[in-house]
Amino acid sequence: MTTMTYRQALHDTLRAEMLRDENVFLLGEEIGVFEGSYKITAGLLAEFGEKRVRDTPIAEEGFTGAAIGAAMLGLRPVVEIMTINFSLLALDQIVNHAAKIYGMFGGQAKVPLVIRTPGGGGQQLGATHSQNIELYYAFVPGLKVVAPSTPADAKALLMAAIRDDDPVLFLENLALYNTKGDVPDDDTPAEIGKAAVTRPGRDLTLIGYSRMAHIAAQVADQLAASDGLDIEVIDLRSLRPLDRPTIIESVMKTHAAVVVEDDWLTYGIGAEVAATISDGAFDYLDAPVRRVAMAEVPLPYSKPLETAALPSVDDVINAVHQTLDAVGRRHQKVGHD
């Protein structure tokens, strides 16, 4: 076990996978000489050379297409798209090619491609550089979408993604790069499609992923201390495939759920989770599932407005209290002496 940042875990895992398998190579904007906008690829050009660490032009559609071709012919490309916002330029390649080739051509070619890309707001990068649009990819059969929230998961899921024969969108988060955590020293890849119950509890199920998994854990800790609540927290880890059994099993136990997401409410990931609960645990629900999401606006640049638009710990606490009120467990807000 070693304590390291999320950034370090990604870097070390990329390097280890490149050492393990010579078919693994990296391409993307500014990943070589500049060592990556977020320094995930620091030192790798020097170690592995230009053949395996390729700086590309600012042309997402072009280099994503090139990576798909390389993957079809047996290489294992790991593409870095500087932020998920720029992946829209490669949408046709990802959705119409990477996701479809295996099925459309009768399994003649696999596409073992990984697209690493960070999302997330809160850095004052403006509306076009702060989005959480992983949903666009989680929507598409033929793709896998994973979203680690901890350094340990960053390692285990990146290993799994690189070794997976399907195209995987690997969602990172700008706000998580500097977070620290324990990372196991052994090389066991995660199972893609498995959520983690990061905190067991009985009173309510709180579901999140990526940055929101942290917010959920923080809320659970805070409410355990202040209100004596016993909240179960689920970190989804994988958005496609979605681990429906873990979600359903939890809600069957707690009878109430709140979903927190960094994206917009309408048609968001939370809507899919809520529908999953309705399908699988309807007869166990004692209150409607609540969702906490970002305000339905393009994210403002102004810091106070940006903070107000993003879901906060207080927003989540509010939703938890309202849900628990609805099942008759009133929080102590009234009548202190």
Partner 1 sequence: MIEIKMPRLSDTMEEGSVATWHKHPGDRVEVGDILVEIETDKATMEYEAYEAGILTEVLVGEGDVVAIGTPIALLDTGVATARAVASPAASATDPGPVSTRPLRVDTVETVTAPVTVPEVENGPRRFASPLVRRMARQLNIDLSRVRGTGPGGRIIRRDIVDFDDTSAQLDELVVDAVSAPPVIADERRGSEVIPLSTTRRVIARRLGESARTIPHFFVTAVVDAEALVTMRTELNSQLAAVARSKVSVNDLLIRACALALREHPLVNASYVDDASTTMLIHHRINIGVAVASENGLVVPVINDADQKSVGELGVEAKRLASLANDKKLTIDQMSGGTFTISNLGMFGVEQFTAIINPPEGAILAVGSTTVEPRVVDGVIEARHTMRYTLSSDHRIIDGALAAQFLRTLTTFLENPWSLVA
29, 35, 60, 80: the active-site residue:
60
- Beta-bridged to residue 81, according to DSSP, are none
- Cβ at position 22, least distance to partner 1 in Å: 47
Q: Of these, 105, 182, 305, 314, which contacts partner 1 (CB under 8 A)?
A: 305
Q: Contact at 8 Å (CB) between 211 and 173?
A: yes
- Cβ at position 219, least distance to partner 1 in Å: 15
- Cβ at position 258, least distance to partner 1 in Å: 10
For 182-229, the DSSP string reads EE-SS-----TT--EEEE--SSEEEEE-THHHHHHHHHHHHHHHHH--
In whole angstroms, how far apart are CA 90 and each of 71, 169, 288?
16, 12, 38
Q: Helix axis angle, 6-20 relative to 151-163, nearest 10°?
A: 30
Is 60 labeled as catalytic in the residue annotation? yes
Residues touching partner 1: how many (CB under 8 A)?
Answer: 37
Q: What is d(CA 127, CA 306) in angstroms, rounded to the nearest whole number?
A: 9
Instruction: By CB under 8 A, tell whether 225 contacts partner 1.
Output: no
CB closer to partner 1 out of 139 and 284: 284
Q: Of these, 20, 202, 303, 330, which contacts partner 1 (CB under 8 A)?
A: 330
Q: Contact at 8 Å (CB) between 231 and 320?
A: yes
Q: Which stretch binds partner 1 (CB under 8 A): 21-29, 48-56, 77-85, 326-334?
A: 326-334
Q: Contact at 8 Å (CB) between 260 and 311?
A: yes
For 295-324, the DSSP string reads -SSPPPSSHHHHHHHS--HHHHHHHHHHHH
Give the three-state DSSP class for 289. Answer: coil
Site for partner 1 in 227-266 (CB under 8 A): 255, 264-266
Is 11 labeled as catalytic in the residue annotation? no
Q: Which stretch binds partner 1 (CB under 8 A): 52-60, 182-190, 197-205, 320-328?
A: 320-328
The counts of H helices and E strands in the chain are 12, 14
Per-residue mark of binding to partner 1, 263-302 (x: CB under 8 A): -xxx---------------xxxxxxx-xxxx-xxxx-x--
- Cβ at position 185, least distance to partner 1 in Å: 35
30, 61, 129, 331: the active-site residue:
129
- Cβ at position 253, least distance to partner 1 in Å: 12
List Cβ neighbours of 299 (8 Å cut-off, separation of 6 or more): 121, 126, 127, 130, 131, 306, 309, 310
Instruction: By CB under 8 A, tell whether 319 contacts partner 1.
Output: yes
- Cβ at position 223, least distance to partner 1 in Å: 16
CB closer to partner 1 out of 186 and 337: 337
Residue 335 burial (10 A CB sphere; 0-12, 13-18, 19+): exposed
CB closer to partner 1 out of 220 and 292: 292
Instruction: By CB under 8 A, tell whether 12 contacts partner 1.
Output: no
In whole angstroms, how far apart are CA 57 and each of 62, 70, 81, 117?
9, 17, 12, 17
Instruction: By CB under 8 A, tell whether 15 contacts partner 1.
Output: no
CB closer to partner 1 out of 153 and 203: 203
| Six token digits for residue 104 | 């459309």
- Cβ at position 235, least distance to partner 1 in Å: 21
CB closer to partner 1 out of 34 and 267: 267
Q: Contact at 8 Å (CB) between 169 and 116?
A: no
Q: Contact at 8 Å (CB) between 27 and 57?
A: no
Chain residues binding partner 1 by CB under 8 A are 255, 264-266, 282-288, 290-293, 295-298, 300, 305, 308-309, 319, 322, 325-330, 332-337
The set of catalytic residues is 60, 129
